[in-house]
């Protein structure tokens, strides 16, 4: 899995933080405009993935994804004293890369559902899914390359670096599925790569387009990275204990796939007899039925559920004391305080 999954469904005005509500219309309009640059066949696949079309190609009303990464970029531009619109190109590029990762992620994980609908590969085929993801990544780069502002080159370098780290995290995630000796350090590094990197990039890109100095860019990149680790902790909880009617995923989907998520690694490393029993189940082939139920019960017995839930507010709060810069950047933690619980 690259990044945080699209769960638990669309945010509404009742459930979303005000920061997202304020930024989303701006991002949505620019994202639709950017998608017009795709070829008709690819555009149809992408429009379906983004929730603009149904399975038959008819237009539908949908909130789409949460657009958290572009919101962070816009608000970080504002935090350094610029208009949010100054970072719109970077915000759209971030959302394109994020959705490229989701489409490819579903292929690699074999997930047939996302947001209660067939995934792109399940509906259009693996080839079309790979092509659509590639097209989104290429379009993101093109948007930044064609922006004449000098800040765009720095933003493109930032996004390229973050994308490479995100892909590295996906590679680590896949490799860890066949291992029982994944350490806590390796697990958190994987989370930092596959989720924290792009969220950190969002903070940095917003600061870059907003004209922030090097210190602001560094601090806002760090803010996004810490937020990413909090997101991943929540996502890992939902991947095991989330309600399928809300997540749109099968129960305990991450355990079925032998993912070495934070709760699983915690149980294997610190769970004593229960952790060893869990390891035996994970090394015994496919997990389903009673064996899957037993594995989830062992994760509860080791305290890994509570441990992982405790990481989300703790990790998202950890950067706050270091925010000593001048200006409105101090308001960012309050703007995003509700985000980890909404992913």
Read off the pLDDT band of 15 (50, 70, 90): low
- CA quadruple 271, 253, 339, 300: dihedral positive or negative? negative
**pLDDT bracket for residue 195 (50, 70, 90):** very high
Which domains are seen in the chain, by residue range? 18-219+322-342 (1.10.600.10)
Q: What is the pLDDT of residues 147-160, one digit of tens each?
A: 999 999 999 999 99
Q: Which residue has the higher pLDDT, 325 or 197?
A: 197
Instruction: Give the C-alpha separation, 333 to 94, whole Å.
Output: 21
User: Whole-angstrom Cα distance, residue 145 to residue 147?
Assistant: 6
pLDDT, residue 63, reads 64
Integer Cα distance of 45 and 50 in angstroms? 9
pLDDT for 60-88, tens place per residue?
Answer: 987 667 899 999 999 999 999 999 999 99
- pLDDT on residue 161: 98
Percent of the chain whose pLDDT exceeds 90: 73
Task: Provide the pLDDT confidence category of residue 105 given band limits of 50, 70 and 90.
Answer: very high
Per-residue model confidence (pLDDT) at position 32:
97
Per the CB < 8 A criterion, the answer to whether 224 and 200 are in contact is: yes
Q: What are the backbone dihedrals phi and psi of residue 59, each rounded to the nearest 5 degrees, phi first?
A: -65, 140
Contact status, residue 30 vs residue 267, Cβ threshold 8 Å: no
Give the pLDDT confidence score for residue 311 in this predicted structure. Answer: 81
Residue 244 CB neighbours (<10 A): 13
- ∠190-195-201 over CA atoms, to 5°? 120
- Which tokens hold the place of 46? 């992408």
DSSP assignment of 280-311 equals HHHTSS---HHHHHHHHHHHHHTTHHHHHHHH
What pLDDT is recorded for position 2? 40
Q: How confident is the model at residue 21 (pLDDT cuts 50, 70, 90)?
A: confident
pLDDT band at 329 (very low <50, low <70, confident <90, very high): very low
**In this structure, how many other beta carbons lie within 10 angstroms of the beta carbon of residue 309?**
16
Nearest Cα to Cα of residue 224 among 50, 94, 81, 113: 94
- Residues in a beta bridge with 169: none
Sequential DSSP letters for 215-278: HHHHHHHHHHHHHHHHHHHHHHHHHHHS-HHHHSS-TTHHHHTT---HHHHHHHHH-HHHHHHH
Number of alpha carbons in the 13 Å side-chain half-sphere of residue 122: 14
Helix (H/G/I), strand (E/B), else coil: 53: strand
- What pLDDT does 333 receive? 44
| Mean pLDDT, residues 227-234 taken together | 90
């Amino acid at each position: 899995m690259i990044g945080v999954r699209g769960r638990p469904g669309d945010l509404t005005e009742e459930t979303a933080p005000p920061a997202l509500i304020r930024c989303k219309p701006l991002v949505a309009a620019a994202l639709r405009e950017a998608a017009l640059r795709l070829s008709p066949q690819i555009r149809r696949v992408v429009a379906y993935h983004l929730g603009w079309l149904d399975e038959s190609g008819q237009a539908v009303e949908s909130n789409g994804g949460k657009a958290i990464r572009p919101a962070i970029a816009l608000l970080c531009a504002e935090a350094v004293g610029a208009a949010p619109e100054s970072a719109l190109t970077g915000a759209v590029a971030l959302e394109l890369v994020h959705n490229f990762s989701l489409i490819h992620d579903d292929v690699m994980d074999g997930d047939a559902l996302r947001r209660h609908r067939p995934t792109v590969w399940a509906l259009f085929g693996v080839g079309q899914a790979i092509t659509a993801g590639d097209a989104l990544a290429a379009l993101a780069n093109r948007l930044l390359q064609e922006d004449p502002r000098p800040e765009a080159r720095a933003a493109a370098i930032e996004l390229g670096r973050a994308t490479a780290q995100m892909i590295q995290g996906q590679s680590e995630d896949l490799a860890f599925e066949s291992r029982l000796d994944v350490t806590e350090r390796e697990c958190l590094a994987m989370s930092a790569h596959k989720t924290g990197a792009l969220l950190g990039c969002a903070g940095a890109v917003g600061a870059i387009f907003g004209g922030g100095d090097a210190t602001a860019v560094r601090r806002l990149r760090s803010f996004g990275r810490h937020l990413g680790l909090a997101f991943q902790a929540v996502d890992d909880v939902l991947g095991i204990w989330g309600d399928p009617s809300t997540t749109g995923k099968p129960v305990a989907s991450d355990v079925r796939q032998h993912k070495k998520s934070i709760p699983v690694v915690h149980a294997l490393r610190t769970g004593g007899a229960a952790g060893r029993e869990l390891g035996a189940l994970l090394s015994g082939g496919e997990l389903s039925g009673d064996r899957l139920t037993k594995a989830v019960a062992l994760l509860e017995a080791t305290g890994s559920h509570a441990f992982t839930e405790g990481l989300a507010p703790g990790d998202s709060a950890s950067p706050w004391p270091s925010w000593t810069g001048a200006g409105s950047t101090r308001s960012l933690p309050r703007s995003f305080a509700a985000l980890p619980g909404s992913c």
